[in-house]
A and B are shown apart, each in its own frame.
Chain A
Amino acid sequence: MLVQQLINGLTLGSVYALIALGYTMVYGIIELINFAHGEIYMLGAYMGIITFGLLTTLHLTFPTSGAALLIMMVMAMLFCGACGITIERLAYRPLRGASRLAPLISALGVSIFLQNFVMLAQGPRDKGFPHLFAGEGIDLFGSRISAIQMFIMATSVLMMAALQLLVHRTKIGKAMRATAQDMQMASLVGIDVDRVISATFLIGSALAGVAGIMVGMYYGLINFFIGYIAGIKAFTAAVLGGIGNIPGAMLGGLLLGLIEALGAGYISSEYKDVFAFAILVLVLIFRPSGLLGKDISRRV
């Protein structure tokens, strides 16, 4: 049972981590909690279904369902990335000089808008997600790890590794780090801050899009409301790890997934969220800036 719960927890945690990255990257740069981020994830899942529908109506057949999946993921990444940039441009950029509360309210507005838009455009009922994984999975120490669980963990790790490379090894990554440190100073030395912020939203949203597709496949069921809970959980993961800190979001996501799985399995499923949030409170009491968060006194 322990191994099974660890597998459950790690799968869930890697999804939380992927979504949490979007929160943390945006916060790291413009100190905005982007509450619409959960909705981007939901859009990614819907884009996956729509792409799949298009592929079937066009009678495009593929040698493997893997190819279809790849196309769905690319489409979701492009679409969500574009949505992220548009939202930033329309809802956050005009408010950049305003008080910190204004863009926060704007983010909530975007979230409500997107939810209701999808409800009206796609209907309020649950939608089934196409079955693309036939694999049975393998047995491991008396527990079962399914093909899709392996796929989710592998994809998440791959995405996170790619992100680390991007942030630490490329020019745009360097510009992002500079902007996160001091936006004004960065623009003084010739960094196009607007472009960096757009790039941040693009990357964070594309990751959420991938998460949407993976979760859609994992549970086989999506609706317009899935972004809400996922958003809250991912936000918690980001805060747990230290908001603004990229490895922190990954750690926070995995930890949250594990705590939930072990708490539900060994103590009580009814109190699953209580454990998750109790640990969050404890961490914040002893380490106010999260597990890997930097000391905030720097800003003062």
Chain B
Amino acid sequence: MRRGRVWFTPIAAIAVFALTLAHAASTIKLGVAGPLTGDQGAFGQELKNGAIIAVEEWNAKGGVLGKKLEIVLGDDQHDPKQAVAVANKFVNEGIVGVIGHFNSSCSIPASTIYHEGKVVQITPASTNPQFTERGFWNLFRTIGRDDQQGVVAADFIVKKLKKSKVAVLHDKTTYGQGLADETVKALKKAKVKPVYYGGITQGEKDHRPVLTAVRQKNPEVLFYGGIHPEAILLTKQMRELGMKAAFVSGDGVWQKEFIDIAGKAAEGAFITFTPDQTKIKEAQGVLKKHKEKFGSDVGAYTVYSYVATNMLLDAIAATKSTDGPKLAEHIRKTKWNTALGPIQFDKKGDVLVSPFVVWEVKNGKFVQVK
């Protein structure tokens, strides 16, 4: 028995190695990265599901360049260090492009690795301006930027709500604080100086102390830069403390849970997000497939991921190549007609037209404000 194993091991190793080689040659791999597990796992799953639907559609048509497509998953657990590790692994494995990451704090450090490895990265979710501001040729995003979003939010507060006493809170992340700062910048342009500005900690459950301090300033509007778990707690706790201020926040809060769990406290909240996907003709296919395959409606970022994946695969098919610079060139110059509506990229890799509009929570539903 013991002797038997000795000769078996190297043969098995060679067999496994040969198998992986054969496998690698017959498929085209694309990476999907985001927080697949951990407390933000739900977001990562949205990215993954969007990419899966796109890849299945392409594989049903026979793949690209005569090869089947394969998704390689990278779990960054919304930890920048993990994101860099995932990026290195992706580049070493020879993936043709990356859909992801989710968090701006992950997308930005990982993008440096993809840039060095000459790999195209399209993020469906990272909105921090810094991502595309460093002059890298390989970066794109199908979502807008926080400076676009901040302007929309500030405009809405000043012109539509006609309020000038604004308190600003954020979650100290690249995304949350970035969005809060861009909004403050836009507010200051409109001569509105926030009456309170402060940060809270992600994962923390009790925000009553800071809200009590905010209440002291009697704000008419509370703007929050961050994602929905904290937004749920903030809205609930501010109403409990008897605060009447309007709650305004960004795309990270546009989640079903925000309404489901915050309930009455979410009513009347304003969220900046992209236009209603259910009204876009090209999106009907992916919305239906998601329902069939996963048994639920799409999440906030699913369609962004679907569109990003399609762009990458379309670029491979059109250029008949998996060479990073060629793919980037194609993605940049094409006028895309996508499930998110028409998209065109500028030099930096940002979408040309700001996609943000304001939504309101009305009777337990997100309703686009006209």
User: Are A and B interaction partners?
Assistant: yes
Taking Cβ atoms with an 8 Å cutoff, the residues of A that contact B are 1, 4-5, 8-9, 12, 116, 119, 124-128, 131, 144, 146, 215, 218-221, 223-226, 228-230, 260-266, 268-270, 272-273
**In the complex, are the beta carbons of A215 and B212 less than 8 A apart?**
no
Residue from A9, A116, A220, A226 in contact with B236 in the complex, judged by beta carbons closer than 8 Å: A220
Of chain A, the residue at the smallest CB distance from B257 is: A126
Residues of chain B having any CB pair with chain A under 8 Å = 37-39, 41-42, 45, 169, 172, 198-201, 203-210, 212-213, 216, 228-229, 232-233, 236, 240-242, 257, 260-263
Q: Is the CB of A128 within 8 A of B205?
A: no
Check if B213 sits within 8 Å of A269, measured CB to CB: yes
A-B contact pairs, 9 of them (CB 8 A): A124-B42, A126-B261, A218-B206, A229-B205, A262-B209, A266-B213, A269-B198, A269-B199, A270-B172
| B209 and A261 contact, CB distance less than 8 A | yes
B209, A221: Cβ atoms closer than 8 Å: no
Is A146 within 8 A of B240, CB to CB? yes
Please determine whether A273 and B209 come into contact, CB atoms closer than 8 angstroms: no
- Chain B residues in 8 Å Cβ range of A268: 198
Taking a contact as CB atoms under 8 Å apart, the answer to whether B210 and A264 are in contact is yes
Contacts of A219 in B (CB 8 A): 205-206, 233, 236
Which chain A positions have C-beta within 8 A of B262? 220
Chain A nearest Cβ from B3, distance in angstroms: 34
Distance to closest chain B CB from A151 (angstroms): 14
- Contacts A9-B209, A146-B240, A220-B261 given: A126-B229 contact, CB under 8 Å? yes
With beta carbons under 8 angstroms apart, the residue of B45, B205, B263 that contacts A124 is B45
Distance in angstroms between the alpha carbons of A19 and B20 in the assembled complex:
49
Would you call A1 and B213 a contact (CB within 8 A)?
A: yes
Question: Contacts A1-B216, A269-B210; is A221 near B37 (CB within 8 Å)?
Answer: no
Given contacts A125-B257, A128-B260, A221-B233, contact A264 B213 (CB under 8 A): yes
Q: Which residues of A contact B260 (CB under 8 A)?
A: 128
Interface centre among B240, B241, B260 (most CB of A within 10 A): B240
Q: Is the CB of A4 within 8 A of B39?
A: no
A221 touches B232 (CB 8 A): yes
**Which of B213, B232, B240 touches A126 (beta carbons < 8 Å)?**
B232
Bound CA–CA A220/B205 (angstroms): 10
State whether B241 touches A144 (Cβ < 8 A). yes
Q: How far is the CA of A70 from the CA of B242 in the complex (A)?
A: 29
5 nearest interchain CB pairs?
A: A124-B41, A264-B209, A269-B210, A128-B261, A225-B39
Residues of A within 8 A of B37 (CB): 116, 119, 124
In the docked arrangement, what's the CA distance between A4 and B210, Å? 11
Closest chain A residue, CB of each to CB of B201: A273
Complex partner residue of A12 from B38, B206, B261, CB under 8 angstroms: B206
> In the complex, what residues of A have CB within 8 A of residue B240's CB?
144, 146
Measured CB to CB, the closest approach of chain B to A209, in angstroms, equals 17
Name the one of A116, A124, A269 contacting B209, with C-beta atoms under 8 angstroms. Answer: A269
Contact residue among A146, A228, A272 (Cβ-Cβ distance under 8 Å from B201): A272
Contact B209 A223 (CB under 8 A): no
CB-nearest residue of chain B to A120: B37
CB distance from B259 to the nearest CB of A (A): 10
Q: Which residues of B have CB within 8 Å of A228?
A: 203
Contact B39–A221 (Cβ < 8 Å): no
Please report the C-alpha to C-alpha distance between residue A185 and residue B54 in the assembled complex, in whole angstroms: 68
- Add 11 more A-B contacts to A126-B257, A126-B261, A215-B205 (CB < 8 A): A4-B208, A8-B212, A124-B41, A127-B261, A131-B263, A144-B241, A220-B233, A221-B261, A224-B39, A264-B210, A270-B199
Chain A residues with CB under 8 A of B169: 269
Task: Give every chain B residue within 8 A of A215 (Cβ-Cβ).
Answer: 205
B225 CB to nearest chain A CB (Å): 13
A118 to chain B, nearest CB (A): 12
Return chain B residues, CB-CB under 8 Å to A261.
208-209
A34 to B212, CA, bound (A): 34
Contacts of A1 in B (CB 8 A): 212-213, 216
A220-B261, A221-B233, A225-B38 known; A260+B213 contact, CB < 8 A: no
B232 touches A229 (CB 8 A): no
Cα distance A76–B216 in the bound complex, in angstroms? 38
Given the contacts A144-B242, A225-B38, A260 and B212 also touching, CB distance less than 8 Å: no
Can you name the residue of chain A whose Cβ is closest to the Cβ of B236?
A: A220
Chain A residues whose CB sits within 8 angstroms of the CB of B242 once the complex forms:
144
Cα–Cα, bound, A266→B206 (Å): 16
Contacts of B172 in A (CB 8 A): 270
Q: For B233, what are the chain A residues with a Cβ–Cβ distance below 8 Å? A: 219-221
Instruction: Write the chain A residue with the least CB distance to B196.
Output: A269
Q: Which single residue of chain B is at the shortest CB-CB distance from A225?
A: B39
Residue of B nearest to A8 (CB): B208
* Closest residue on chain B to residue A223 by CB atoms: B39
| A12-B206, A128-B260, A269-B199 known; A4-B229 Cβ under 8 A | no
Which chain B residues border A128 with CB–CB below 8 Å?
257, 260-261, 263
Name the B residues within 8 Å of A144 (CB-CB).
240-242
**A5 adjacent to B209 (CB under 8 Å):** yes
Across the interface, name the chain B residue whose C-beta is closest to A264: B209
| Distance of A126 Cα from B42 Cα, bound (Å) | 9
Q: Are A5 and B212 in contact (CB under 8 A)?
A: yes
- Whether A272 pairs with B209 at a CB distance below 8 angstroms is yes
**A8 to B206, Cβ gap below 8 A?**
yes
- Chain A residues with CB below 8 A from B45, complex form: 124
A230 to B241: give the CA distance in the assembly, Å: 23
B261 touches A265 (CB 8 A): no
Assuming the contacts A124-B45, A225-B38, A270-B172, asked whether A265 and B205 have C-beta atoms less than 8 A apart, the reply is no
How many Å lie between the Cα of A128 and that of B42 in the bound state? 15
- A125 CA to B227 CA, complexed, in Å: 13
Q: A8-B208, A124-B45, A264-B210 are in contact. Are A225 and B241 (CB under 8 A)?
A: no
Nearest neighbor of B258 in chain A, beta-carbon distance: A126
Give the distance in Å from the alpha carbon of A48 to the alpha carbon of B242 in the complex: 28
CA–CA, A92 to B198, complex, Å?
43
Instruction: Tell whether, in the assembled complex, residue A265 and residue B236 are in contact, meaning their CB atoms are under 8 Å apart.
Output: no
Contact of A225 among B203, B207, B236 (CB under 8 A): B203
Report Cα–Cα, A264/B241, bound state, in Å. 16
Listed residue (A4, A226, A262) with the most chain B CB atoms within 10 angstroms of its CB: A4
